[in-house]
A and B are shown apart, each in its own frame.
Chain A
């Protein structure tokens, strides 16, 4: 999911053109939110208050939700309606601004889980606690997918203290393991926001300046038992430039809102299961960096930015003759060779124990490049005359285009092509709807232009 929401606050500093796109975008989003099956609050939480009434709270929701919005077409088939819904949602995603946004991609995040007794409430099924664990796992997996060089630590809040559940780690498996054992995380007692934040803050204090520090708190309680003044903690977090984002499961608390607002994080109250997931997953895309005002020369001076020397290793297969690794002094076949000193290390990313070079596998870095060079949105083809390549087939998958336009009411206004054809603005080749979505969401590379 492109990070259009997270970036809003900072992007207007960037350029004026972005602002207009975003405003327009926000309006279309609001207009269409009704059409969505799930209760997704895409607008700002504060503005979204009035809209929240239309959507069911978890405790007053009936069992029918996702199929409420689907209607049969004239022939009594649901297929068209469902596909239209999906296609619209996807196409809207493509309307996000194409400009590359600065992101601090080396992220450090502490996930703070509420393990107080209030998490045993059953207003979210099966319980808030089980749902939180399930979503936390999905969150971690997806987060590492999008932030390959990032690290996650886990802190729990129960019995009035903060509890370190998982150390900062860059390995998704480590993080998943520490939140997989349900019986070790059994909720008890009251939560303490201050203790947990202080614990998270201390675990991020040693980090280098160029990394971003974030705290994501899932908070189900309406109280917090703190040993001191939490506003002092807040001041410290602002000073350390830690972003705090909170997903509340019960109701809005003033202190939570303040923690998020003052540190530049996001705050949201989950209304039901789907909304909870949406709020959490909106925190996955890298936050746009707090852009400093652009100077006349076009350059941006960013004190947190740095240039790092990295080595790209050679991987040895497990058929190679065993040799000692420099990290554990164990006899092993597989491993990675430091490109500078040719020492063998077991795992990347790491710092070479011999020469100190930071060794990363280049595919790790490359995973984030599609953020930097996104494919330009394709333009819907509205008439057959305007295209220079009057192909009868999709340029990518060679599927023949439908010969007669499918008339779906209301689609033309939303950037959908009635002909099911979309043209690349650079190479002018024409693509089908499936490929359009696939290219922008997954491949991030236009088959016509080859870049």
Chain B
């Protein structure tokens, strides 16, 4: 690890999901406090790897997203006094800045009956803007605005630590973020701690060349983080980092925000619908009656609960065409069994 690298971490801080994740009825519970201490150890390791490594941490809270820590901002006042001789100064600054901003935000959360969806999109786009500015600043080599970051920004990457299920209304913004990450050559890694597999984050990791790892043992988080996510992508090619098993390319329909595997697509604007509609709600194009009748006839029967039929048996004719296609995860043992592909939507949480 000779070259400095930039890491942006997006931490999912959904209170209800963390409550569920920490419940002792889980086989391997991971309470928020344990999670934070493991995460801090990982972040410390990142800045310790190279003096010039940069770091920014975003929190995705219900309905908003905030910057928790950034190595580009000046060291706050309270750390200018005499240091604790037993701690390394940068660690101390990082840890207390993070913890202070998290506790501030968590206390400010109101006890709402209905928790608004977490601001994952906001956190993702903010980290992209941050990386964009860092790369701009380095390309013009003008350290404008007191940015004390490094001059070059190689291998920027974003690590998303997620516990919440997919928010299907954020399908388009997430896809847009993925494409801009591709343009900026940013790698998106995903560490899924809890909850159902995330279709969108799987696609994000796949399309940007990152790793998507679903933790079988959330309580062993630190080990996963240091083994898989600490080395920058360039180094990772030489290591045997667990790769993604399957990528689920399902999309969210525009009408009900269901996640569908077979959709009806408007030929004019490419909007996706979960059932044949007479008029496109996006571009207001009317579709021919003939098409509607044809599609209604050929539509997969009863879209809602399409028999949770057992997937593995290779009995049906088409199934036998793909001899021995794996239904369960293989190899590395790090990937959790994926939910049945036959369900049309993710299990409700």
Q: Which of A184-192, A309-317, A380-388, A410-418 contacts B (4 or more CB under 8 A)?
A: A309-317
Provide the bound-state CA to CA distance between A104 and B266, in Å. Answer: 10
Once A357-B262, A435-B133, A443-B176 are accepted as A-B contacts, the answer to whether A321 and B269 lie under 8 Å apart by CB is no
Nearest Cβ distance between residue A209 and chain B, in whole angstroms?
9
Chain B residues closer than 8 Å to A222, beta-carbon distance: none
Chain B residues closer than 8 Å to A100, beta-carbon distance: 269, 282-283
Chain A residues closer than 8 Å to B72, beta-carbon distance: 398
Nearest Cβ distance between residue A155 and chain B, in whole angstroms?
26
Nearest Cβ distance between residue B15 and chain A, in whole angstroms?
18
Q: Is A355 an interface residue (CB 8 A)?
A: yes
Contact with B along A313-341 (1 / 0, CB 8 A): 11111011111111000000001111111
CB closest residue in chain B, given A210: B267
Q: Is A257 an interface residue (CB 8 A)?
A: no
Q: Is A21 an interface residue (CB 8 A)?
A: no
Contact with A along B282-298 (1 / 0, CB 8 A): 11111110011001001
Provide the bound-state CA to CA distance between A325 and B325, in Å. Answer: 10
Chain A residues closer than 8 Å to B126, beta-carbon distance: 395-398, 447
Chain B residues closer than 8 Å to A451, beta-carbon distance: 121, 169-170, 172-173
B121's partner among A149, A317, A355, A445 (CB-CB below 8 A) is A445
Nearest Cβ distance between residue B5 and chain A, in whole angstroms?
19
Chain B residues closer than 8 Å to A439, beta-carbon distance: 125, 129
Whether B130 lies near A398 (C-beta < 8 A) is yes
Whether B246 lies near A315 (C-beta < 8 A) is yes
CB closest residue in chain A, given B117: A450
Once A323-B325, A341-B318, A439-B129 are accepted as A-B contacts, the answer to whether A450 and B122 lie under 8 Å apart by CB is yes
Provide the bound-state CA to CA distance between A394 and B72, in Å. Answer: 14
Chain A residues closer than 8 Å to B109, beta-carbon distance: none
Q: Which of B29-37, B43-51, B270-278 contacts A (4 or more CB under 8 A)?
A: B270-278
Could you tell me which residues of chain B, from 230 to 266, have a CB within 8 Å of some CB in chain A?
Answer: 243-251, 260-266
Q: Is B187 an interface residue (CB 8 A)?
A: no
Provide the bound-state CA to CA distance between A336 and B247, in Å. Answer: 9
Q: Which of A38-46, A120-128, A358-366 contacts B (4 or more CB under 8 A)?
A: A358-366
Whether A365 lies near B286 (C-beta < 8 A) is no
Provide the bound-state CA to CA distance between A215 and B243, in Å. Answer: 43
Nearest Cβ distance between residue B184 and chain A, in whole angstroms?
8
Once A105-B268, A369-B172, A372-B269 are accepted as A-B contacts, the answer to whether A323 and B322 lie under 8 Å apart by CB is yes
B249's partner among A302, A307, A363 (CB-CB below 8 A) is A363
CB closest residue in chain A, given B272: A365
Q: Is A29 an interface residue (CB 8 A)?
A: no
Whether A438 lies near B269 (C-beta < 8 A) is no
Q: Is A434 an interface residue (CB 8 A)?
A: yes
**How many residues of B are in contact with the other chain, CB < 8 A?**
88
Q: Is A373 an interface residue (CB 8 A)?
A: yes
Provide the bound-state CA to CA distance between A451 and B125, in Å. Answer: 10
CB closest residue in chain B, given A320: B326
Once A103-B269, A317-B243, A339-B261 are accepted as A-B contacts, the answer to whether A300 and B286 lie under 8 Å apart by CB is yes
Once A300-B286, A337-B322, A447-B125 are accepted as A-B contacts, the answer to whether A312 and B250 lie under 8 Å apart by CB is yes
Whether A323 lies near B324 (C-beta < 8 A) is yes
Whether B288 lies near A315 (C-beta < 8 A) is no
Chain B residues closer than 8 Å to A355, beta-carbon distance: 318
Q: Is A370 an interface residue (CB 8 A)?
A: yes
Where chain B touches its partner, the secondary structure class is mixed
Chain B residues closer than 8 Å to A338, beta-carbon distance: 318
Whether A343 lies near B322 (C-beta < 8 A) is yes
Q: Is A76 an interface residue (CB 8 A)?
A: no
Provide the bound-state CA to CA distance between A134 and B242, in Å. Answer: 41
Once A102-B285, A363-B203, A435-B132 are accepted as A-B contacts, the answer to whether A369 and B176 lie under 8 Å apart by CB is yes
Q: Is A448 an interface residue (CB 8 A)?
A: yes
Once A302-B286, A363-B178, A396-B129 are accepted as A-B contacts, the answer to whether A309 and B249 lie under 8 Å apart by CB is no
Nearest Cβ distance between residue B324 and chain A, in whole angstroms?
5
Chain B residues closer than 8 Å to A373, beta-carbon distance: 172
Whether A316 lies near B282 (C-beta < 8 A) is no
Whether B247 lies near A314 (C-beta < 8 A) is yes
Q: Is B183 an interface residue (CB 8 A)?
A: yes
Contact with B along A387-419 (1 / 0, CB 8 A): 000000011111110100000000000000000
Q: Is A301 an interface residue (CB 8 A)?
A: yes
Q: Is A207 an interface residue (CB 8 A)?
A: no
Nearest Cβ distance between residue B210 and chain A, in whole angstroms?
14
Q: Is B341 an interface residue (CB 8 A)?
A: yes
Chain B residues closer than 8 Å to A303, beta-carbon distance: 288
Whether B175 lies near A363 (C-beta < 8 A) is yes
Q: Is B91 an interface residue (CB 8 A)?
A: no
Provide the bound-state CA to CA distance between A311 and B264, in Å. Answer: 9
Provide the bound-state CA to CA distance between A367 and B280, in Å. Answer: 19
A305's partner among B142, B263, B268, B319 (CB-CB below 8 A) is B268
Contact with A along B323-349 (1 / 0, CB 8 A): 111100011000000000100000000
Provide the bound-state CA to CA distance between A91 and B114, in Å. Answer: 40
Provide the bound-state CA to CA distance between A124 and B126, in Å. Answer: 44
CB closest residue in chain A, given B290: A306
Once A314-B248, A366-B172, A434-B133 are accepted as A-B contacts, the answer to whether A340 and B265 lie under 8 Å apart by CB is no
Provide the bound-state CA to CA distance between A450 and B184, in Å. Answer: 20
Nearest Cβ distance between residue A258 and chain B, in whole angstroms?
29
Whether B249 lies near A106 (C-beta < 8 A) is no
A340's partner among B121, B207, B262, B268 (CB-CB below 8 A) is B262
Q: Is B136 an interface residue (CB 8 A)?
A: yes
Q: Is A296 an interface residue (CB 8 A)?
A: no
Whether B243 lies near A319 (C-beta < 8 A) is yes
Q: Is B82 an interface residue (CB 8 A)?
A: no
Contact with A along B162-202 (1 / 0, CB 8 A): 00000001111101111110011000000000000000000
Chain B residues closer than 8 Å to A398, beta-carbon distance: 56, 67, 70, 72-73, 126, 130
Whether A307 lies near B277 (C-beta < 8 A) is yes
Q: Is A342 an interface residue (CB 8 A)?
A: yes
Provide the bound-state CA to CA distance between A367 and B279, in Å. Answer: 22
Provide the bound-state CA to CA distance between A317 and B212, in Å. Answer: 13
Once A320-B325, A443-B176 are accepted as A-B contacts, the answer to whether A310 and B262 lie under 8 Å apart by CB is yes
Whether B172 lies near A321 (C-beta < 8 A) is no
Provide the bound-state CA to CA distance between A32 and B179, in Å. Answer: 32
Once A307-B277, A316-B325, A447-B125 are accepted as A-B contacts, the answer to whether A370 and B176 lie under 8 Å apart by CB is yes
Whether A310 lies near B176 (C-beta < 8 A) is no
Nearest Cβ distance between residue A403 and chain B, in whole angstroms?
11
A308-B264, A398-B130, A444-B176 given; 7 more Cβ-contact pairs under 8 Å = A103-B268, A305-B287, A307-B295, A316-B325, A362-B203, A368-B269, A447-B121
25 residue pairs from A and B, CB less than 8 Å apart: A104-B267, A105-B270, A298-B284, A299-B284, A300-B283, A300-B284, A307-B265, A307-B295, A309-B299, A311-B262, A312-B250, A315-B206, A317-B244, A319-B245, A320-B325, A321-B326, A337-B322, A339-B262, A341-B321, A369-B176, A372-B271, A397-B133, A398-B130, A434-B133, A443-B176
